[in-house]
Amino acid sequence: MLAHYLTGTWNCTYRAGAVHLAYTATYAHDRGGQTLRETASWKGGGDEELLAFDAQHHDWTAVVFEDQGTTTILRASGSNPNKIAYGSIYPDKGLAVTFDRVSSTKYTLHATMHSGGKTITSVDTCIRR
């Protein structure tokens, strides 16, 4: 299960073009173990995310609360916890993020964001502490 795999602390690097940002992501069970809470922190900021899997409908939901007060909601279908392709549904449909479990100690997030007529692609690489 994804919750057991992610639980703990990860050292991550976000890369988009010339921008590189190191951050720490810590995952813990929440809401009686039905939800996974991620807290990310980097120099000067951070965010929080709730992840849930609806086993009956094979749907994933991620709600991200950014430190500047904005919120993004993403949804994905499927029951494979090793590859999850999310698409944003709020505040718009301009974000796609794919979670890939690379190994027992590494995962990546590949993202594409469409905003203001531009497309930004990024990759986050996370290694278990």
What digits encode the pLDDT tens for the residues 52-101?
999 899 999 999 999 989 999 999 999 899 999 999 999 999 999 999 99
Higher pLDDT, 44 or 32: 44
Mean pLDDT of 101-129: 95
Cα 23 from chain centre = 13
- The mean pLDDT of the chain is 94
pLDDT of residue 13: 98
Which domains are delineated in the chain?
Answer: 2-128 (2.40.128.20)
Residue pair 3/29 in contact (Cβ under 8 Å)? The answer is yes
Give the alpha-carbon dihedral of 19, 113, 86, 110, to 10 degrees: -30
Question: How far apart are alpha carbons 94 and 103 in whole angstroms?
Answer: 29
* Antiparallel, parallel or unpaired: β 45-54 and 8-16: unpaired
pLDDT of residue 99: 97
